[in-house]
Amino acid sequence: MMKIKGLIVLASLVFAFAQVEAAQWWVEFGDKPSAVSYLFRPERMLSPRALDRLHRQGLRPNLLDVPVEASYIEAVRSRGYAIVARSRWMNAVAVESVEFPTELEQLPFVTGIRAVAKVHFAASEVRTVFDYGSASDQIRLLNGDFLHLDGFSGEGMAIAVLDAGFVGADQMMAFDSLRTSGRLLGTVNFADTASVFEVNGTHGTSVLSTMAGLIPGSYVGTAPRASYFLVNTEVLSSETETEEYNWLMGAEWADSAGADVINSSLGYSTFNDPLTSHSYQDMDGNTTVVTRAADWAASRGILVVVSAGNEGNSPWTHITAPADADSVLAVGATDLLGGYATFSSRGPSFDGRVKPNVAAPGAGIRYVQTNGTVNSGSGTSFSSPIVAGLAACAWQAHPSRSAWEVLKAIEQSGSRFANPNDSVGHGLPNFDMVDFFLSTDQPKQLANLRYGPNPARDFLSVWSEADGVAEVVDVRGQLMLRWDLWQDLPSSVDVSAWPSGVYFLRFTTPYGTTAARVLVE
C-alpha cells in the first residue's frame, strides 16, 4: 500500500470505501506515552455523559480510557498500512494485509500481532499527518509533534519576525502555502527604503523557514499554519545602536498590527564604535534600548521569544540584549540530542536571573535556503524560532491564557526546571507538557512546585513556595504516597523500589492544584 505524504488535514475525517477481501491483523502496543495529558484532561477522551457515569459510581478515568498513541498509529501508517479499526481498551489497531505484517513486528513499541479473519474492507478513517522530513528531529526533541497531532499548528496565531532580510521569501516554494492562503499579513522595513524581500540578506528568510516552511514530504516548520508579519530592523553593512532603535520601532509596529508572538533572532553587545558598545553590566534587564523595548512589548500581552546569542566561545561569552529582559523567553542552543551547544551564550543576567530561560535545538538545524533546498546550520538564531513556533501552537490550543502564562508553562516543562543552569536555563521544553500545564485550572500557581531529578531513579526531591499537600499517583489512578509539604522545606521521596514508568505529582494548596508528570527509571 502507498504511504500517504503531504499536508495534515486538521480536525477532519476522510473516508474511503472499497469491496476487497483481505486478512485483518490486530497490532498491540505496549504503552500509552501520552496518558498524562489525557488523564488530566479527561474531557478530551470521554463525553460529559461518560464522565458523569463514572462519577456517579465513584470511578475515575484511567489508562483504559486513554486513546491509542497517535505517534504509534502514524508509525504503522508510514509503513504503508491503513488503519481500519482501533481499540483503546486493547491498546491496539487493526490493519489489513494479505501477508503477515512482519515490518510492524519489528517496531519497539509493538508487543504482539493477532490474526483475526478475512474481512471485507469497509469505511475506514484516513487522517494524514505531517511528514516532517529532515525537520523531524528538531521538532520531536521538544515533543512539538504532539501539538500538531492534536490539531494545533498555529491557525489563527500571528507571529512577527523581527530580523535581518527576507530575500527570496516572496518566491520560495517553501512559503507557497503562506502566501496563497493569505497568511502573510504584512511587511515593513525600518532599516531601508526597499522591500524586505530585496535587501539585507537572507537571515530572516532562514529563520522564517523553521516556523513557516512547508514542503510536502520534505520539510515542515514548527508553526506551518500560523500567520506572519515580516519586519526588517537590521543594517548588514554596520553594527550600531541604531539597530536597537529600529527594533523598538519594529516591536511597536508589530504590537499595533496585532501580533501575538514576536520572534527575534538578533542580539546586541558590541558595536563598530567601541565607545557605544555594551558591557556585561548592561545585561541587567533595564539598561539597553532593545531590552526595554522587548519588555514593553511583553507588557502589551505579546509573547516575546529571542535568541540568547552565539557568544559562548567568544571573549564576551554572555547573553546579548534583549535576552536579558525579564519578561522575554530567551532561548539557548543544544545539539539534536539535547546536549549544550558550546557556541550558545551563557547566563545569568548581570543581576543574577536565570538566562537563557530554556534551550532548544540549534546545532545542525535544518532550514530552507532561497534556492528551495534544505540545508544545515547552527545558531541560537534557529533555537528561538523553533520554540516561538511551538509556543504559538500551544497558545492556539489555550487562547484564554496570557502570554506570561505560556512563558511560565514553557519554563516549567523544561528538563532542568528543578535545577536550572547558566548554559541551558530550565532545559529543553516539552510541549506535550506545556499543553498539559496550560490546561490546568491554576496556571498561575505552577511556579509553586519544584521537583527533580526527572527522570528519577533512587529519590525524588520536592519543594514548594507554599504550604500544601503533595501526592504521587500512578497511571492507574492509585495513590502511591501522600505527605504534607511545607514552604521552602524540601523533602525527598524514595522511589528506588517503584516500578519504572510515568507517575503524576500533585500539589494542592488553598489556591488550587498543580500537577506534573514524573518519570521513574
Q: What is the pLDDT of residues 77-133, one digit of tens each?
A: 899 888 877 777 778 888 888 788 888 988 989 988 877 654 443 433 333 368 899
> 331-370, pLDDT tens digit by residue?
999 999 999 999 999 999 999 999 999 999 999 999 999 9
* CA–CA dist 268, 264 (Å, integer): 12
Does pLDDT of 229 surpass 50?
Answer: yes
- Positive or negative: CA dihedral 368, 373, 379, 383: positive
C-alpha span between 254 and 203 (Å, rounded): 19
Cis before 356? omega within 30: yes
Contact between 480 and 13 under an 8 Å Cβ cutoff? The reply is no
Residue 310 burial (CB < 10 Å; 0-12/13-18/19+)?
A: buried
Mean pLDDT, range 174-178, rounded to an integer: 95
State yes or no: is 423 an active-site residue. Answer: no
Would you call 519 exposed, middle or buried from its count of C-beta atoms within 10 A (0-12, 13-18, 19+)? middle
Chain-centre distance of CA 390, in angstroms? Answer: 4
CA distances from 399 to 157, 185, 438, 452, 460 (A): 9, 20, 10, 30, 33
Annotated catalytic residue within 65, 150, 203, 265 = 203
To the query of whether residue 284 is one of the catalytic residues in this protein, the response is no
Name, in order, each residue with C-beta under 8 angstroms of 329's C-beta and a sequence gap of 6 or more: 303, 304, 305, 306, 357, 358, 387, 391, 407, 410, 411
Determine which one of 37, 381, 439, 464 is catalytic.
381
Beta-carbon contacts of 509 under 8 Å, excluding residues fewer than 6 positions away, are 445, 448, 464, 466, 467, 468
| Cβ neighbours, 10 Å, residue 102 | 9
Pairing of strands 158-163, 227-232: parallel
Helix (H, G, I), strand (E, B), or coil: what is residue 318?
A: strand
For the segment 236-247, the average pLDDT, to the nearest whole number, is 88
pLDDT of residue 50: 66
pLDDT (mean) for 133-161: 93
How much is the average pLDDT of 437-443?
66
Q: Taking the C-alpha atoms of 159, 160, 162 and 168 in order, what is their torsion angle to the nearest 10 degrees?
A: 80
State the number of CA atoms in the 13 A half-sphere of 493 facing the CB.
Answer: 24
CA 429 distance to own-chain centroid: 7
Instruction: In whole angstroms, give the CA distance from residue 110 to residue 91.
Output: 10
- Nearest CA-CA partner of 136 in 239, 209, 219: 219
| pLDDT band at residue 15 under the 50/70/90 scheme | very low
Burial (CB < 10 A; 0-12, 13-18, 19+), residue 218, is: buried
Identified catalytic residue from 163, 260, 295, 435: 163
- Rounded to an integer, the average pLDDT of 480-486 is 85
| DSSP character at residue 67 | P
As a whole number of angstroms, the distance between CA 283 and CA 321 comes to 7
Is 299 an annotated catalytic residue?
A: no
pLDDT confidence band for 485 (50 / 70 / 90): confident
pLDDT of residue 154: 95
Cβ atoms of 245 and 289 closer than 8 Å: yes
Alpha helices in 337-454 (DSSP H): 380-397, 403-412, 431-439
